Chain A
Amino acid sequence: MNFWVIQGLNGLAFGSLLFILASGFSLIFGLMRIVNLSHGAYFMLGAYVGISAMAAGASFWTAILIGGVAIAVLGAVIERLILRRLTGQPLAQVLVTLGIAFIIADACVWIWTGDPRPVPMPRELAGAFRIHQLAFPIYRLFVIGVAFTLAAALWFLLERTRLGAMIRAGVDDLNMARAMGIRTSVLFPVVFCLGSALAGAGGVLAGPILSVYPGLDTDMLPLALVVVILGGVGSLLGAFIGSLIIGFIYSYGQALFPDLAYMILFLPMVLVLTLRPTGLFGRQAI
């Protein structure tokens, strides 16, 4: 019994981290039609920046902020100087983001070396939460809380605000949104920075659970991709449900069938792409 509950909570915590990463990935994909293959690298770079900030004396919380802002700025520069020039050339955009991912990965090894870096947990969240014979790290519960709060905040942004109405219009039909006078040239950098910031901050937040190491980017990116395919492009609800599903599959799969973990993870993606190309909650086919 304990096994199922603990693995369930682990799955929820991992799904929460995935949501922080995948929500931005999905929004960028849905609005700008860019499969941003550097999104995993943003996650890893954000974590490294956070480590350096902490080494320089910043608190864990300030490091999350610094990681988020740094990657948002990087995202803004990449969107403005590179991706915008390639508007209407999706293949070129995908290849460019892949190239950027490799560059970031190499730069990280160069700056932070190839050794895995543990990220210290904030003291106030150390320790375990106990009920009867169950003990679960408080930090993981905190990560779950952050993801649910973020989901609520993003829901409010997209469903209730003027900016959100324009973003949703763009996700639904970009040409129509432009014909309505919606300035997509303003929306694109906003969404790209928001997605990048979430990836960067998410990397720091994930540090105490996953630690930071070369290859973290390529470990996380396919999972974000599976989440978006499963949930549906540009759908916040899809990213949320998809992240939790993948989190549970990942957690139980690793524990029960470690040899088949990847098969269990990617099989739903293959099935969804074959049977329901729009994903569970999306409108556009992948």
Chain B
Amino acid sequence: MTAPALEVTGLHRFFGGLPAVRDVSMRVPVGERRLLLGPNGAGKTTLFNLIAGDFPASRGEIRIFGENVTGKTADQRTHLGMARTYQIITLFPKNTLVHNVVISLLGLLKLRFNPLSDIRKHTALWDEARSILALVGLEHLAERTVADTSYGEKRRLEIAMALAQKPKLLLLDEPLAGLSADERRDVERLLQTIPRDVTIIMIEHDMDVALAFADVITVMQHGQIVVEGNRAEVVADPKTREVYLGH
């Protein structure tokens, strides 16, 4: 049996005495599109940060493709095939778009060539970065600095940087937040082009897009999972109504 892309068991995270994630267990098989839903403060982004290794779990276990990564650092997890985007756009703003993608390619390169060699001379790396930018429709802005691009372009660049790592498990934290209708369509189209063997876990508040996208939905509240199932099951479950409408 193939190991699931992600398996979380009994995960807890406390900030001081405050539990942000409480006893979360979930299993995401390879290739699944999983949607994380829940009101603000439900613990979704904290769960993402725990999975990505941005901070350690207080208790519990995380496995990526069968490997226990609970004690591993974020970069070690990335090397296992995981990539992520952030809720608040996090890029290297003084650099050009193409330089940002080059940085995301650098992280996964083996030290096959001299780390002290001139980075501009690795033309293959820059060509690959440009082709990744083309994939998200940003090739024409390759030489522009990130600070000079629109919000939607930054979102697409962020996804490009995650895709540059050829992830097998992709965590997307509100990829559509703050986008105009046109930009939203662009990103939706982009998400649809991601190969089906890539497992995607997404936090998103745009219900129409999110529900159309997801195979399985996990609803969180107060740091816990309250409902899990396919679209019909989750929509029909009275607990979902309770989480969103308070009754």
Contact = CB atoms under 8 A, between A and B. Distances in A.
Interface in B95-140: 99, 102-104, 106-109, 113-120, 122
A166 interface: yes
Contact of B53 (A157, A169, A178): A178
Given A179-B84, A182-B106, A165 B165 contact: no
A179 B106 contact: no
Contact of B54 (A162, A168, A175, A185): A175
A68 B74 CA distance: 32
Contact of B75 (A161, A173, A182): A182
A179 B80 CA distance: 12
Interface string A155-197: 0010011111110110011011111111111000000000000
A166 B53 contact: no
B75 A165 contact: no
A165 B103 contact: yes
B73 interface: yes
A169 B74 contact: no
Contact of B78 (A160, A161, A164, A180): A180
B161 interface: yes
B147 to A, nearest CB: 12
B52 interface: yes
Contacts of B116: 157, 161-163
Contact of B106 (A162, A175, A283): A162
B92 interface: yes
Nearest to B119: A162
Interface string A79-111: 000000000100000000000000000000000
A182 to B, nearest CB: 4
Given A169-B103, A173-B92, A178 B75 contact: yes
Contacts of B115: 161-163, 166
Q: At the interface, is chain A mostly helix, strand, loop or mixed?
A: helix
B90 interface: yes
A140 B53 CA distance: 49
A228 B119 CA distance: 27
B106 A180 contact: yes
B195 to A, nearest CB: 20
Interface residues of B, number: 36
A80 to B, nearest CB: 15
A173 B113 CA distance: 25
A178 B78 contact: yes
A101 B45 CA distance: 40
Contacts, number: 90
Nearest to A87: B73
Interface residues of A, number: 25
A179 B91 contact: no
B172 to A, nearest CB: 13
A162 B78 contact: no
Given A165-B102, A166-B107, A179 B79 contact: no
Contact of A180 (B104, B114, B117): B104
A178 B118 CA distance: 22
Contacts of A169: 92, 103, 106
Contacts of B227: none
Contacts of A88: 55
A162 B122 contact: yes
B176 interface: no
A166 B54 contact: no
A160 B52 CA distance: 30
29 contacts: A160-B118, A161-B117, A162-B115, A162-B122, A163-B115, A164-B119, A165-B99, A165-B102, A165-B106, A166-B115, A168-B92, A169-B92, A169-B103, A169-B106, A172-B94, A175-B74, A176-B90, A177-B103, A177-B107, A178-B75, A178-B78, A179-B84, A180-B75, A180-B103, A180-B165, A182-B75, A182-B103, A184-B75, A185-B75
Interface of A: 88, 157, 160-166, 168-169, 172-173, 175-185, 283
